[in-house]
Amino acid sequence: MDTKLMKTREELYRFLSRVYLREIDQDFFDQMKGFTFPKDCCETELGAGYQLLKEYLETCGSDAVIDLAVDYAKVFLSAGISQGSSAFPYESVYTSPERIVMQDAWDQVCSVYASNGIVKGKVNSDILEDHIALELEFMGFLCSEAQKDPGNISWLKKQQDFLEQHLLNWVPEFCQQIDQFADTLFYKAIAKITHGYLKLEKSILSSGFETLESDTDNSLQCYVSWEKMNTILDELKKEYRVYAPKRFEKRGFKKDTDLIRYGEISRVEEIVHDVQSDFSPKEVFYPITQAMIYFKDNNCEESSIDDTKGMIIFARPCDINAIKRLDNIFMQNGDNTDIYYKRLRDKVKLFMLECREGWDDCFCVSMGSNETDNYSVAARFKENGLLLAVKDETFKKYFAKETASDFIPEFVQSNTKSVVLPKIENREQLKAACDLDFWKQYDEQCIGCGGCNTVCGTCSCFDTVDVIYSETSSSSDGERRRVWSPCMLDTFTLTAGGHRSRQTPGENMRFKTLHKIYDYNLRFNENEHMCVGCGRCDKRCFKDISFFDAINQLSKELEVVKTEKDTMRGE
């Protein structure tokens, strides 16, 4: 999308945000009187709003600022009027059954802000996060960030998601109420401008995706023989360590079976591309144990990375999507980025292993993780070579002289298994999901080994432990490490006083399941869940517990409870 258009969009969002934030003062009013309004507008309501605002500014009297202050207090603060005769500027009021503030929409908006590093400032401490002014200001922020990286489609995606999942869910009704209760033409005009602009934005963002995707479809397609690919790998290894699913003989979970795990490779023949790996690629850049701080001579020193090489990881679409989930958790989860994760993650370039059929335990299509465009190179393995689509300019020089092809990667479109995700729309339904008796079955089935967590591509929990190098000397030299910590272990919630907040395998299973298919989505407010449907946890479980079955059973039993409660209300 053109940066000039992005700047114009940012300015209009910030203008509207200021209008709704507080009363119009004299300085802001004088600025508006100098505005030049567009003569032609492709959105009818927006154009009508501009015309109405222009007429008001040209004809208003000397007491306009006072009149606007009175109208603002009446319309948005319900000052001096009966209940129900105001346009309350909070999303929760319009989207919650109770029509009160601080409901689910507020929680979701707080999570969106936090995931983008936004903290509400002291200046706006008297209003809640789902106030119309702050939501519009956030859209202005996203437009500003998009201008810094105009080729990055993710900023447009964030704008589109927030527009459709929040603003368009409630602002149309909000604007209707402004028009109904406002006395001044100014706020009636602002209501038309706001609603019309958001409708126009929906169209702009949709077309922006199409334009950007077509502009960026300039990958280099080629065929490379095994022999030539090994030569290219030798060149790549001068700057990168190359990781891929690799076979470790007689190291499998069961007797006389092999283990497929990520490891560093030197030859393309080492890549296991026809069998799903037992472990995910996360351990390459999020190692099982990782030094954070060193203690020496009563001083602390932060650990560092001495290896200057980057990392190339061959991964399937579901695993690439899993990495995106980890990125959100470690780098978009509040005010601070996890530096220990980021310093390794920044080294990674992803080479996608094409996956057109999936495996018996996969349900990636149900989870929406079967496709991705987040890769530098895509690869399809052939009998004597590879078909490649090279998107990243960094790698095109390595393949520029290879035989041209028309390769376009394909993705699995259906799985043997499919899941029905539960619809949890409010706190009452969440509590009902937590209280279901079916969780108790796992008290008997699950042995709490944590194997499902270790093979999962999105499990991210860890413990920190202090290690003293010598227990026999007086030296306190050592290090602080973080170590993967599976939530299915019975000690996961153990505190220093001996208390455990979740004391049974069933409670742990409930926590894990809801985290994978509800909490993450609520936190990051994206059209995705933490679980990517790879099915590794089902394969790994010694007790044959199926996470796939757990999701479907949860959905089924929750719907029964919801139906029963609806029937009781009707009676």
Write the secondary structure of 109-142 as one string of H (helix), E (strand) and C (coil).
Answer: HHHHHHHCCCCCCHHHCCCCCCEHHHHHHHHHHH
Same domain membership, residue 393 and residue 501? no
> Roughly what angle, to the nearest 10 degrees, separates helices 547-570 and 427-434?
120
- Residue 29: phi and psi, rounded to 5, are -65, -40
Cα–Cα distance, 162 to 170 (Å, whole number)? 12
pLDDT cut 70: percent of the chain above it: 95
| Mean pLDDT, residues 51-65 taken together | 91
CA dist 258 to 245, 246, 435, 544, Å?
12, 10, 41, 19
Cα–Cα distance, 442 to 305 (Å, whole number)? 42
Is the pLDDT assigned to residue 212 strictly greater than 70?
Answer: no
Residue 41 confidence (pLDDT): 73
Q: What tens digit of pLDDT does each residue of 514-544 get?
A: 999 999 988 886 678 999 999 999 989 989 9
Same domain membership, residue 295 and residue 277? yes
DSSP 360-374: TT--HHHHT-S----
| Mean pLDDT, residues 47-55 taken together | 90
Higher pLDDT, 470 or 342: 342
Same domain membership, residue 449 and residue 356? no
In this structure, is residue 304 part of a structural domain?
yes
| Mean pLDDT, residues 164-169 taken together | 92
Nearest to 531 by CA among 452, 441, 436: 452
Same domain membership, residue 13 and residue 45? yes
In this structure, is residue 364 part of a structural domain?
yes
Residues 6+ apart with CB under 8 A from 97: 426
In this structure, is residue 483 part of a structural domain?
no
Type and span of the H or E element at 292: strand 289-296
Q: Which residue has the tokens 């996360």?
A: 282
CA dist 113 to 161, 268, 331, 425, 568, Å?
13, 43, 13, 20, 38
Range of the domain at 503: 427-458+491-570
What is Dmax (Cα atoms) for the chain?
Answer: 90
Same domain membership, residue 208 and residue 292? no
Q: Which residue has the tokens 């000039």?
A: 4
In this structure, is residue 417 part of a structural domain?
no
Domain count along the chain: 3
Residue 223 confidence (pLDDT): 96
In this structure, is residue 137 part of a structural domain?
yes
Token pair of 138 as six digits: 């956030």
Cα–Cα distance, 323 to 345 (Å, whole number)? 9
In this structure, is residue 237 part of a structural domain?
yes
pLDDT cut 90: percent of the chain above it: 65
Residues 6+ apart with CB under 8 A from 171: 132, 194, 195, 198
Residue 215 confidence (pLDDT): 44
Q: How far apart are the first and last CA of the chain?
A: 54
Cα–Cα distance, 93 to 376 (Å, whole number)? 44
Token pair of 426 as six digits: 């409010």
* Residue that finishes a domain, picked among 193, 215, 237: 215
Token pair of 363 as six digits: 């349900």
CA dist 218 to 26, 214, 378, 408, Å?
52, 8, 13, 12
Same domain membership, residue 530 and residue 498? yes
Is the pLDDT assigned to residue 164 strictly greater than 70?
Answer: yes
Residues 6+ apart with CB under 8 A from 73: 23, 79, 80
| Mean pLDDT, residues 354-361 taken together | 91
Q: Are 426 and 493 in contact (CB under 8 A)?
A: no
Higher pLDDT, 503 or 223: 223
Same domain membership, residue 226 and residue 209? no
Type and span of the H or E element at 300: strand 299-302
Residue 216 confidence (pLDDT): 46
Nearest to 9 by CA among 174, 200, 175: 200
Q: If you average pLDDT over every residue of the chain, what do you get? A: 89
Assign 234 a pLDDT band (cuts: 50, 70, 90): very high
Token pair of 420 as six digits: 């029905």
* Residue that finishes a domain, picked among 187, 215, 243: 215
Same domain membership, residue 234 and residue 174? no
Q: What is the CATH number of the domain that holds 140?
A: 1.10.3480.10
Nearest to 186 by CA among 50, 79, 88, 78: 50
Cα–Cα distance, 19 to 10 (Å, whole number)? 14
Is the pLDDT assigned to residue 168 strictly greater than 80?
Answer: yes
CA dist 488 to 287, 459, 505, Å?
19, 11, 7
| 3-state SS assignment for residue 464 | strand
Residue 315 confidence (pLDDT): 97
Is the pLDDT assigned to residue 214 strictly greater than 50?
Answer: no
Residue 381 confidence (pLDDT): 95
Cα angle 367-372-377, degrees, rounded to a multiple of 5: 150
Same domain membership, residue 239 and residue 169? no
| Mean pLDDT, residues 197-221 taken together | 71
Q: Which of 328-332, 402-406, 523-527 is predicted least confidently?
A: 523-527
| Mean pLDDT, residues 229-249 taken together | 95
Is the pLDDT assigned to residue 116 strictly greater than 50?
Answer: yes
Q: What tens digit of pLDDT does each residue of 470-521 get?
A: 887 778 889 999 999 999 998 888 888 888 889 899 999 999 999 999 999 8
Q: What tens digit of pLDDT does each residue of 257-301 get?
A: 899 999 999 999 999 999 999 999 999 999 999 999 999 888 999
Same domain membership, residue 433 and residue 390? no
Q: Are 17 and 7 in contact (CB under 8 A)?
A: no
DSSP 151: T
Residue 256 confidence (pLDDT): 83
Assign 2 a pLDDT band (cuts: 50, 70, 90): low
Is the pLDDT assigned to residue 213 strictly greater than 60?
Answer: no
Token pair of 404 as six digits: 């041209």
Assign 83 a pLDDT band (cuts: 50, 70, 90): low
Cα–Cα distance, 560 to 539 (Å, whole number)? 29
Q: Are 396 and 452 in contact (CB under 8 A)?
A: no
In this structure, is residue 241 part of a structural domain?
yes
Cα–Cα distance, 519 to 526 (Å, whole number)? 11
DSSP 256: T
Nearest to 507 by CA among 450, 557, 437, 456: 437
* Residue that finishes a domain, picked among 215, 249, 279: 215
DSSP 515: I
Same domain membership, residue 258 and residue 142? no
Q: Count Cα atoms within 13 angstroms, Cβ side, for 221.
A: 8
Cα–Cα distance, 149 to 138 (Å, whole number)? 17
Same domain membership, residue 264 and residue 392? yes
In this structure, is residue 470 part of a structural domain?
no
Q: Are 315 and 351 in contact (CB under 8 A)?
A: yes
Pairing assessment for the beta strands 403-404 and 220-225 based on DSSP bridges: antiparallel
Cβ neighbours of 265 (radius 10 Å):
20
Q: Are 167 and 105 in contact (CB under 8 A)?
A: no
Q: Are 115 and 523 in contact (CB under 8 A)?
A: yes
Q: Are 350 and 389 in contact (CB under 8 A)?
A: no
Nearest to 152 by CA among 208, 78, 86: 208
Is the pLDDT assigned to residue 17 strictly greater than 50?
Answer: yes
